Structures are given as structure tokens and as C-alpha cells.
Amino acid sequence: MKKKIKFKIFLSSIFALLLFTFPLSSNNIFAQVMQGTTYRISSDSINFGGVKSSGTLYGLSDTLGELGTGASTGTLYALHAGFWATAGSPYITLSSPSDLTLDAISATGVSREGLVSWTVTTNNGAGYVMTIKSSTTPAFKSSTDYFNDYTPSGSDPDYDFSISTTGAEFGFSPEGTDTHSRFKDNGSACNTGSGETSGKCWDGLSTSTKTIATKTSGNAPSGSTVSVRFKASIGESRNHTAGNYSTSITVTATTL
């Protein structure tokens, strides 16, 4: 009789804006962003003039006729008033993908993997950083057994996912143009070169955050796609306990 091992990965997304803090209360008021199928207006202004001008040593944007412009704060609010004040306010957003279910394993010597993608968007000129962590150590568990967190052979991620014949391990590999340099490769090794080969450069999860992507400039309005490939593998000689295995993983994007 074959035993069956089922997998479920629960995902959560958090974004953090470091440059400004807005205290919350039951009386918060949020402005509505105007948008349609082909446009998005995040700020507007009623005035009677304004131009952009520049020279060798300066660049200037102005408006005429606005009142009470600039930044102001209080115990329960933070306000950026005026067209250029709101246009320059930084923001960051992060999508929330659905949970991932890997195909079940009914034999030893088998691996299962799946890909999850997030979209992070920020107008912050300094860019963003994205991290990942698990809620437990080891990350992938059932009520009676677990997969060890993948352990690279050295300090850098392993180019290939490799375990012993008696092992059972669970790991991850980031993918995308903003992938952190630690997960970039030169075609045979990780944390070197500028390549980003799909399905390569594997590491194990931890309850401590690990950086998976970074960008040193804004990417609004299109944003960046950051994907993470998860993999569970059982060695050929491993007698692993059947059951439902799951993990809870948090991905966080923060402005730099």
C-alpha cells in the first residue's frame, strides 16, 4: 500500500513604508484614487497656473493658487497638502497571491515544487527590499513528522537542490529581475555573476528574515514581479511518514 504525503504552503504579504508613519484611529479619512481602464490619477489640484522650468544648475516645478500646502502632522493624522506634496509622497504596495498546494508524493526518491509570484510597486526613489521567513523551524511539518529546512553545502545557496538518499528537505529559490545578488549565478555557482537561472540557487527557510529581492530605484507604476520557487524532496532510502504537511510563510517588502 502506498503512503501519500500532501503539501500546503500558506502565504502572507506585508509591505512597510519606512519614510512616514500614519497613526491609526477610528476616525481615519483616506482619499480616493481616481482610475479607469486606461488611466490612474493619484493626486490632483485646483489652481490657476504652474510650470516646469530648468537650467544648468536647477530644476523647478511650481503651482499657483494653492492654499495651505506642505506637510503637517498631529496626534491622529499626517497630511501632505498640495499637488507637489502629494505627488512626491512615497508609497509601496505588495500583492497577496493565493496559497500554494504542491502535488502529493506517494513514493520515496521523489520531489515536488511550485512557484508563487508577488508584485511589488513603489515610487520611492531609493527602491525597496523584500524578505522572506517561515513561522516555525523547521518550516514544513505535519502533526507527526517534518521536512528539514534545506541546508546548503556552504555559506552560499546551492546551485542545484541536492539531498542525501536518507534525507527529506524543503527549500526555496527566488526568481526575477530584482533577485538579490546572493541568489544570482554565473551558470554554475551562486552569489556570483549576474545570471538568474530558473530553478537554481537553493536555500532553506528560517524564522529569521532572509533577503530575496532588492531594487535601488522606484518602479511605479508597472512594479516588479518577484517569484519564489518552493521544493520538497524525499531521498530514495527515506521512510517518511504519510500525512498533510504545511508551512506558513511571510514575505515583506519595505522601502529603502
Any idea which of 31-35, 100-104, 188-192, 245-249 has the lowest mean pLDDT?
31-35
Read off the pLDDT of each residue in 109-121 and give the average, rounded to a whole number: 94
Residue closest to 219 by CA, chosen among 97, 128, 84, 140:
128
pLDDT value for 125? 86
232 has a pLDDT exceeding 80? yes
Tell me: pLDDT of 25 over 60.
Answer: no
Lowest mean pLDDT among 8-22, 61-75, 114-128: 8-22
Tell me the HSE value of 231 on the side-chain side, using a 13 A CA sphere: 22
What global pTM score does this model have? 0.74
